[in-house]
Amino acid sequence: MSDAPNPSRRPARTPRFPDGPQPDPAGSHHERRIRSFQPRRSRVTTGQADAIERLWARWGLDIDGRRTLDLTELFGDDRPVVLEIGFGMGEATAQMAADDPATNILAVDVHTPGQGNLLSLAERSGLGNVRVANGDAIILLREMLRPDALAGLRVYFPDPWPKKRHHKRRLIQPEFLDLAADRLSPGAVLHCATDWEPYAEQMMEVLTAHPRFANTQPEGHFAPRPEFRPLTRFEGQGLDKGHVVRDLLFRRV
C-alpha cells in the first residue's frame, strides 16, 4: 500500500472554505456557556460549495464578536433589518426576501449546506436584501449589534430540546429576551414558531411574563400563521405527523 499523501484529503482542522464560513468564528475569546444549537454534519453539494466560494465575501459574514456591525454598510442601504435565527436550507428565507424587498434579512445559521443553499437561492432570484451570518446568534446580538438596530426577529422551529435535562438549552429563555429587547426597536415584533407543543407553552409563558414584550393576540392566545411566513418543507412533515404548529408574535414595548 502506498504511503503517498492523498491530495484530495484535507489535513485535520483545515477549513473546508479558507475564505468562507469558519468552524468556530468567535474562537475562545468568548466565554464558555451552554448553547442552544448543535452543528450538524452533512455533505456540501457542488452547487452549495460553488455558491460559498463565489458569494461569501460579498454576502456572508462570520460572527466573530470583535466588531460592531454597521447594518447600512452591510446591506448597502438603510432599509429596516430583520434578524432570522436558524434558517435551515434557506428556502423560506429566500421566499420572504423576495416577497418583501423593502426589508433586509440578516439570516444566521451554522449549517454549511444551508448557508450555501441560501446564497445560491439569493443569487438565482436576484435578492440583494439577504445576508448570511455564520456562528452563534447570541454573540451577534450581544457583541455586534447596536441597541434598537433590528426591525424584527424571527425564530422559526428552533431545536425544542425535548428531554427535561436539556430544557436549559432552549433558546427562548428570559435572558435571551432581555438581550433581544435591547436590540429590537420599539414596536418591532419577535416572531417564534414551533411544532413542539411543550416548547410553545414555555415560549408563551416566558414571553407573557417579560415586561418588554406584549402579545399581539388576546392574552394567552397563539397567533394564526401570518401570510408572510411560508409553509416550510420541515413544517409540512410535522403537520403530516399530526403536529400542531404554533406561532407567537410579541411586540417590543
Pairing status of strand 81-85 against strand 213-215: unpaired
Q: Return the ∠ at Cα 213 (arms to 170 and 108), rounded to 5°.
A: 45
Per annotation, catalytic residue among 62, 100, 159, 247: 159
How would you label 67-85 residue by residue, b for 16+ Cβ within 10 Å and e otherwise? Answer: eebebeeebeeebebbbbb
Q: Is 195 a catalytic residue?
A: no
Name the CA dihedral angle for 224, 225, 227, 228, rounded to a multiple of 10 degrees.
130
* Kind and range of the H or E run holding 61: strand 60-62
Question: Among candidates 52, 37, 120, which has minimal Cα distance to 86?
Answer: 37
Distance CA 78, CA 80 (A): 6
Distance CA 249, CA 222 (A): 8
Positions annotated as catalytic residues are: 159
